[in-house]
Amino acid sequence: MQQTRETLYHVVFFACAALSVVTTVGIIVALLGDALSFFGSYSIVEFLTGTQWSVLSNSFGVLPLVYGTLIVTFGSALIAMPLGLLTAIYLSEYASKQMRSVLKPMLEILAGVPTVVYGYFAIVYITPFLEATLFPSISTFNALSASIVVGIMIIPMVASISEDAMSAVPDSLRQAGYGLGATKFNVSTRIVVPAAISGIASSFILALSRAIGETMAVTLAMGSKPGLPSSLHPGELFLRPYSSMTAQMVNTINGELSGGSAAYDAVFAVGLVLFVITLVMNIVSDRIASRYREEY
C-alpha cells in the first residue's frame, strides 16, 4: 500500500513538472513559428535596426518599442531599487517583530493589486500632480508616470526577496560586528548587505524582468505611440508618450488583423525579442545567485 502511494505521488509530481516543460516549449514553438514566417518576408536586420513602427505602412522596426520598454524599466529601477533595498534593511535589521508582522503583509498586498489599478492611478493622480507641480508641459500619456507606477509595483518584489536574503545571514556575523564596536548601521550596510548580495542582486534582476514584461499599467500610463526621442533632453526622454513592446502587442492584436498577415506575424517577432530579453535576464540572475551565494 505504501509503495503504491509513493508511486502515485511520483507520477503526479512528474506530470506537474512535465506540464510546465511542455507549456514552455509550446510557447516557444508558437513564437518561433509565426516569427520565422515574418522573417521570411521581412528582413531581420531591418526589424532589429529599424526606427519606425507603423502597421499602415508595413514598417516594423522594433527599436522604438525596445526604447519604450527600456526607458520605463530604467525609470522604475531608479525608484524601486533604492526604496526596496532600504525597506528590506529596515524590515530585517531595525523593525521589531510586531512591526515586521504588519509591514510584510502590507507589502504582499501591494504586490497583489491588479496592474490596471496602477495604470488608472497614474492617469488620474500622478500625471495631473506632475503637471500641476513640476512639469506643466507633460503629456497626458508619458513615460515618467509609467516609470513611477511600475517602480511602485516592483518595490514589494525587491523588498521581500532582499529581506529574505538578509534574514538568512547568520546572527553570528552581526554579533561579531557588534563585538568590534560597529554600529547597527555599519553592521547592516557593511556586513549584512554584502553577505546577502546574491539574493539582493537576484531581486533586482527579477524585478527588472517584471518591469520589462508589464503591460496594462504601462499601456494606460504611457499610451501606445511608437517613436524615438529627438534629443537627450530629459523632457524628450520621459515627458512624452511612447510604446513598449507589450503595449504594442496588445494594441496590434486588438485590431482587426488576419492571421498570416505581416502585422500579425510581427507581433510574434516582438514577443520573441521580449522572450529572449527576459530569458537572458533570468539566466544572469541565476548565475549571479550561484556565483556569489554564501554557504553558512
pLDDT in tens, 133-144: 888 888 889 999
Terminal Cα distance for the chain, rounded: 40
| Average confidence (pLDDT) over 281-290 | 78
What mean pLDDT value characterizes the chain? Answer: 86
Q: What is the pLDDT of residue 195?
A: 87
CB 251 within 8 A of CB 224: yes
Identify the band that residue 1 occupies on the pLDDT scale cut at 50, 70 and 90: low
Identify the band that residue 45 occupies on the pLDDT scale cut at 50, 70 and 90: confident
Q: What is the pLDDT of residue 294?
A: 61
Q: What is the pLDDT of residue 73?
A: 93
Of 60-69, 99-108, 153-162, the range with the lowest mean pLDDT is 99-108
Q: What is the pLDDT of residue 288?
A: 74
Give me the residue label for grid cell 507641480. Answer: 133
Q: What is the pLDDT of residue 105?
A: 85
Q: What is the pLDDT of residue 258?
A: 61
pLDDT in tens, 216-231: 899 999 988 888 888 8
| Average confidence (pLDDT) over 3-16 | 84
The 10 Å CB-count burial string (b at 16+, else e) for 97-136 is eeebeebbeebeeeeeeebeebbebbbeebbeebbeeebe
CB 204 within 8 A of CB 155: no
Of 34-48, 118-132, 199-213, 282-296, the range with the lowest mean pLDDT is 282-296
Q: What is the pLDDT of residue 125?
A: 93
The CA-based angle 289-217-25, given to 5 degrees, is 50
H or E segment to which residue 245 belongs = helix 245-254
Identify the band that residue 123 occupies on the pLDDT scale cut at 50, 70 and 90: very high
User: 283 pLDDT exceeds 80?
Assistant: yes
| Average confidence (pLDDT) over 19-46 | 86
Give me the residue label for grid cell 531599487. Answer: 81
CA distance 256 to 245: 19
| Average confidence (pLDDT) over 148-175 | 91
pLDDT in tens, 78-88: 999 999 999 99
% of the chain beyond a pLDDT of 70: 95
Which among 6, 32, 165 is positioned nearest to 93, based on CA atoms?
A: 165
- CATH for the 42-292 domain, from 1.10.3720.10, 3.30.590.10, 3.40.109.10, 3.40.980.10: 1.10.3720.10
CA distance 212 to 277: 9
Of 42-51, 112-121, 150-159, 226-235, the range with the lowest mean pLDDT is 226-235
User: 237 pLDDT exceeds 90?
Assistant: no
Q: What is the pLDDT of residue 145?
A: 93
What is the helix, strand, coil percentage profile of the chain, to 5? 75, 0, 20
Which among 289, 103, 118 is positioned nearest to 198, based on CA atoms?
A: 289
Identify the band that residue 50 occupies on the pLDDT scale cut at 50, 70 and 90: confident
Domain map (residue ranges) of the chain: 42-292
CB 151 within 8 A of CB 121: no
pLDDT in tens, 98-117: 888 888 888 888 888 888 89
pTM: 0.86
State whether the Cα torsion 11-15-16-20 is positive or negative: positive
Identify the band that residue 255 occupies on the pLDDT scale cut at 50, 70 and 90: low
Beta partners for residue 54, in sequence order: 59
CA 160 to chain centre: 15
| Average confidence (pLDDT) over 8-17 | 87
CA 22 to chain centre: 24
